[in-house]
A and B are shown apart, each in its own frame.
Chain A
Amino acid sequence: MISPGISQNVPKINSEQELRNFLKTLSPVDQVGAQARAAMLATRSIKTTSKLWAIDTAISMVDLTTLEGADTPGKIKTLCAKAVRPDPTDSSVPHVGAVCVYNDLVAIARKELDAIGGSDVPVAAVATAFPSGRASMKVKLADTKDAIESGATEIDMVIDRGAFLSGNIGLVFDEIVEIKATINELSGGRAHLKVILETGELVTYDNVRKASYLAMLAGADFIKTSTGKVNPAATAPVVLVMLEAVRDFCHDYGRMIGVKPAGGIRTTKDAIKQLVLVNETAGEKWLDPKYFRIGASSLLNDLLMQRMKMKNGYYSSANYVTID
């Protein structure tokens, strides 16, 4: 087992036993209490100026995603156009946080973004045998290498949930460490690693907290809830528990890790609830696309429609936002 040594303050883990011992020191999560807190925060009423701010912030945090078997270069190009200019009629709308695609489409996305003035929009690739993660380490590493070499600056990897659930946490840890090392080496430290926990398969909040810490200790730059292929995905209590984890990790070790809920966030209301969770859990430092992203596809259009409504005072039909 290798110790990542990501920052001098983050504890070094030298064996599976050490990791196990570390995770045992974590406080348990009370299911009822966590759900009650998330439900209370969902009652916040965000209106007028704060709603406008939240909509623009949410747009800048969207990882605009397409992860379909039917994805084509044409589809990727329209997605890129949307990412750079979400609302073609209004240049004050910020560009999204990133474009998130499968590996083989990274190069196309990067080229298109650069061509249309979106060179500051990163391309994220789902690597490591997404979404199941059921492949050998050799394949996962090759997958990652491929993505970076094609121009991805963000890698969304999946953890081996089977290994985690069977208690083989050393393996889960090592995989993250290795992928991180590969990314660092190939990108010269420029690319970021998002670790997908697939919380819908971990099921308990205790598992979510443990997996969050495991990923952070192994060198994750972001922890991400879900692939979007499993239900439930980014539920409010799960995001709450992950935000508590990054908050406490930063407090204890001085390293700020990002959080990315993905899956099931479709409406402006959902997105604003996420921002409230961030604001009142991890704190406002995390209200930044560098530390909070929302993995989504249909959300962006709802944000745009709500934005138009705020500006114009009336709801437009869906035909006033582009379908991409």
Chain B
Amino acid sequence: MSKFEYANAPESSAILNLQSRYQLFINGKFVAPKSGKYFKSINPATAKELAEFAYANNSDIDLAVKSARTALTKVWSKLPAAERGKYLFRIARILQERAREFAVAETLDNGKPIRESRDTDIPLAAQHFFYHGGWADKLDFVVKNPKPYGVVAQIIPWNFPLLMLAWKIAPALATGNTVVLKPAETTPLTAMLFAQVCQQAGLPDGVVNIITGDGATGANLVKHPGVNKIAFTGSTEVGKAIARSIADSDKVATLELGGKAANIVFNDAAIDETVEGIVNGIFFNQGHVCCAGSRLLVQEDIANELVLKLQRRVSLIRVGDPMDKNTDMGAINSAAQLQKINELVESGNKEGAQMWQSDCKLPTNGYWFAPTIFTGVSQSHRIAREEIFGPVLSVLTFRTPQEAIEKANNTQYGLSAGVWSDKGSKIMWTAKHLKAGVIWANTFNKFDAASPFGGYKESGWGREGGKHGLLAYLKAGK
């Protein structure tokens, strides 16, 4: 027992009016699924059922796509662009007003700490709508005679449920498209709350449709002939399947997929702040981040000191009840994800890397994994090549800047990277040679609606956010 034990400081969930069952949101209304089926979403911190969600089958998908088409031709395409912008601003303001409720819902459904949903996810989601609201009537600055694609199918992951929804819906609406969105099977709650926000904002019926289901629902939505464009964030495996399934159609796609980011630390870096950045890079959101700094590349002459400082810092990470305001790391999102992490960690041990884990106490119920650091990792180890998507850091060393670049780029991915150095010129040189869509210098995991996000190689197609992100939703008209 330490001297200064922080007493429990739980956020109250009373603000959330949790329904026992959520329906599909089609054509502005909550409707029972034609499938007649429902599935459960659980709270990963307790493994207890949170609520039931409707399962959308092909008939439901068809209704949703048709509703989006009707809304597009009858209403949305006829509105002046500035009017579209007004809806986005209205949604942004409602998200801010209901921020606490959304934060609570996100934490209960996803398992992430309330501090992160409160301070990161929800404010950034609102910012995304504000930012894109401003673009709606200025699209001529993006392309000449901008035209929307039409009906967009959007499939989002479980790691930042509301934020990814915002990344998808805000640019689509700003550019004049209509939407059918499918949230992840394990985290549909905030999407259904967002459906209420659409109603509250008076958004015309059918402009946004939200259907819940599993992988098959997503695959069938992608295949629906009424869909003009696909926007997907998720695993590289599913991204490839989407690319294959639309290969013989005129559908276009933006794909934001996996990553295995190199976080490069030079020996002249500000070491204490670098330690903070490494922690934020890999333990933020339990490591369920596609751009996580999961491969730490440290200059060999400071590796021992850095790892020591890192371990001391990681021991302080408070793992536990995500609703507690002092929790730094919450629950692993699902049993399946926990199994995947366990499997990769086992491979790291088998392949000869040295594992260190924080001796933090883990709760008994729910899905948990202690912050883990592997040292002595080689490029050939699976934990250096494959995305673990959990709180597991692989530490590799390098001797020269050239070697750092070679190792950093030696991956099938290229979503993000980090550089730590006190020398501006070295940062610029390194950034120039890194093959990654986002490069952070002396920081990590910082997001802004104005900054394009996306990957090289198997990390995806296209960009989201900023002016580049709008291009993904626009055709140049004649």
Contact at A50–B443, with CB atoms within 8 Å?
Answer: no
Contact at A54–B4, with CB atoms within 8 Å?
Answer: yes
Q: B469 CB to closest chain A CB, in angstroms?
A: 25
Q: Which of A30-38, A125-133, A173-181, A226-234 lies at the interface?
A: A30-38
Question: Does residue A275 face the partner (Cβ distance < 8 Å to B)?
Answer: yes
Contact at B325–A50, with CB atoms within 8 Å?
Answer: no
Interface size on B, residues (CB 8 A): 25
Contact at B7–A50, with CB atoms within 8 Å?
Answer: yes
Contact at B9–A34, with CB atoms within 8 Å?
Answer: no
Contact at A28–B4, with CB atoms within 8 Å?
Answer: no
Question: How far, in whole Å, are A44 and B318 apart by their CA atoms in the complex?
Answer: 11
Contact at B443–A45, with CB atoms within 8 Å?
Answer: no
Contacts of A17 in B (CB 8 A): none
Q: A217 CB to closest chain B CB, in angstroms?
A: 19
Contact at A37–B273, with CB atoms within 8 Å?
Answer: yes
Contact at A46–B119, with CB atoms within 8 Å?
Answer: no
Contact at B442–A32, with CB atoms within 8 Å?
Answer: yes
Question: How far, in whole Å, are A183 and B276 apart by their CA atoms in the complex?
Answer: 39
Question: Does residue A29 face the partner (Cβ distance < 8 Å to B)?
Answer: yes
Question: Does residue A78 face the partner (Cβ distance < 8 Å to B)?
Answer: no
Contact at B7–A27, with CB atoms within 8 Å?
Answer: no
Contacts of A45 in B (CB 8 A): 6, 9, 325-326
Contact at A30–B442, with CB atoms within 8 Å?
Answer: yes
Contact at A44–B4, with CB atoms within 8 Å?
Answer: no
Contacts of B237 in A (CB 8 A): none
Closest Cβ neighbor of A247 among chain B residues: B312
Interface SS of A by simple majority: helix
Interface string of B125-155 (1 = CB under 8 A from A): 0000000000000000000000000000000
Q: B103 CB to closest chain A CB, in angstroms?
A: 13
Contact at A50–B5, with CB atoms within 8 Å?
Answer: yes
Question: Does residue A270 face the partner (Cβ distance < 8 Å to B)?
Answer: no
Question: Does residue A166 face the partner (Cβ distance < 8 Å to B)?
Answer: no
Question: How far, in whole Å, are A32 and B420 apart by their CA atoms in the complex?
Answer: 13
Closest Cβ neighbor of B277 among chain A residues: A33
Q: Which of A97-105, A108-116, A279-287 lies at the interface?
A: A279-287
B250-282 interface (Cβ within 8 A of A): 268-274, 276-277
Contact at B2–A284, with CB atoms within 8 Å?
Answer: yes
With A37-B276, A54-B4 known to touch, is A44 a contact of B270 (CB < 8 Å)? no
Contact at B7–A44, with CB atoms within 8 Å?
Answer: no
With A27-B271, A28-B270, A45-B326 known to touch, is A33 a contact of B276 (CB < 8 Å)? yes
Contact at B115–A43, with CB atoms within 8 Å?
Answer: yes
Interface string of A277-306 (1 = CB under 8 A from B): 001100010010000000000000000000
Question: Does residue A266 face the partner (Cβ distance < 8 Å to B)?
Answer: no
With A27-B270, A244-B272 known to touch, is A32 a contact of B443 (CB < 8 Å)? yes
Closest Cβ neighbor of A37 among chain B residues: B276
Contacts of B269 in A (CB 8 A): 27
Q: B294 CB to closest chain A CB, in angstroms?
A: 20
Contact at A30–B3, with CB atoms within 8 Å?
Answer: no
For this complex, 25 residue pairs linking A to B, each with C-beta atoms less than 8 Å apart, are A28-B268, A28-B270, A29-B270, A30-B273, A30-B442, A32-B442, A32-B443, A33-B443, A37-B272, A43-B119, A45-B6, A45-B9, A45-B326, A47-B6, A47-B9, A48-B7, A48-B8, A54-B4, A276-B4, A279-B2, A279-B3, A279-B4, A284-B3, A287-B3, A287-B4
8 A-B pairs with the lowest CB-CB distances in the bound complex, closest first: A33-B273, A45-B9, A30-B270, A30-B273, A45-B325, A27-B271, A50-B7, A48-B7
| A residues with CB within 8 A of B | 27-30, 32-34, 36-37, 43-51, 53-54, 57, 244, 275-276, 279-280, 284, 287
